[in-house]
Structure 1
Amino acid sequence: MAQPTDLDLYERIRQKDKEALEVLYDRYEKLLYSFAYRMMKDSQAAEEVMQDVFMKLWRGKGAGQYVSGRGKFSSWLLTITRNASIDLIRKKKVQEVEWDQRDSVHEDLPGVEQEIEDKEERDQLRRAVHTLPDEQQRMICLFYFQGMSQREIAEKCDIPLGTVKGRVRLALKKLREHLEKEGGIVYER
């Protein structure tokens, strides 16, 4: 008997077929886990992302809908995984900042002023990044915050290397202009 296609399984999942979800899970769990792990560098977080992806598939919410004419099913799943990883990274960073803020209230150590200045610069940079279009934000996050090479980003996002380079270059230009306009951090050209 022939194996069901990804599209067949996806359609069955939309009809709440648990067996189809299990088959798709078995088919893609290693790929999605390793992809999430490369982004998260934390096995527990990668597992959380992977579970989130399959829950989105099951609920039919938060993942959009797969359209076969737009690309491979596996690419679509990897895009959902990437987005879920980025969401979790952002969530964890917000939690870390909240903890840092709470803990720093009780500090009377030398260098606190420098830490405050550094935090203000990070906050200013974070606000500036949020002014960028989504595609440019994604490139900056992957390139600077995740430490990926432009070639890795091109492969991960399934876009040409030249597009990645152009988006990073444009994003950096916009960030520089925004930060200089705000009178904050000034970067050498």
Structure 2
Amino acid sequence: MGGGMGGMGGGMGGMGGGNQNMGGGMGGMGGGMGGMGGGGMGGMGGGGMGGQGFFSIPPERTVRVPYHSACLNHGKADPSPNLTYKLVPVSEYTNDPILAELIQLTATGRVNKQAVQAAIWTRTDNLTWQQLAAKGTQGLFGHVSYFQPQELVGAQLLLSTAEGRVKEKASETPSGVSQPADRVSARIR
């Protein structure tokens, strides 16, 4: 899967530069999703966690593990450190395979947080791209946009990437061999 995603970066290159320490990332569309190649899902296949897979933590030690997340419910209050939260598998939260893919992309930490947030809210809260573009706060010097235009473009790319992954998974048989696409009559298109 990692090699396939690397190809997405090549197609969007030249539109910016940001987040190059993340292999292209989504910052300013600088290389699109180019950082997704190689290690598959952001390096977890070979480079994530130091290349050692998961690890054992002695009971007397405390470690910090990076955790990348996004808001799945527009309009709810921000999480509070005073409350207890329960992590659940994505499959317990949603049956939407596209949302599940977006959550997986979020977890890699290799995508622009604002872009993936916008893409998620289009799925969970049915917000339109126009509503997301208009979202903002009133600052001292006027309206401050919550999403920048390039972040919304990135969100649309992330959403189409997630949709493509879902279609790709659906076309695979249990043996991992792709099935031929259904032929559609030219009159039906």
Q: Same fold (TM over 0.5)?
A: no
- Report which of the two has the higher share of strand: 2
Structure with more contact order per residue of length (Cα contacts < 8 Å, sep ≥ 6): 2
- Report which of the two has the higher share of helix: 1
The TM-score, its normalising length taken from structure 1, stands at 0.30
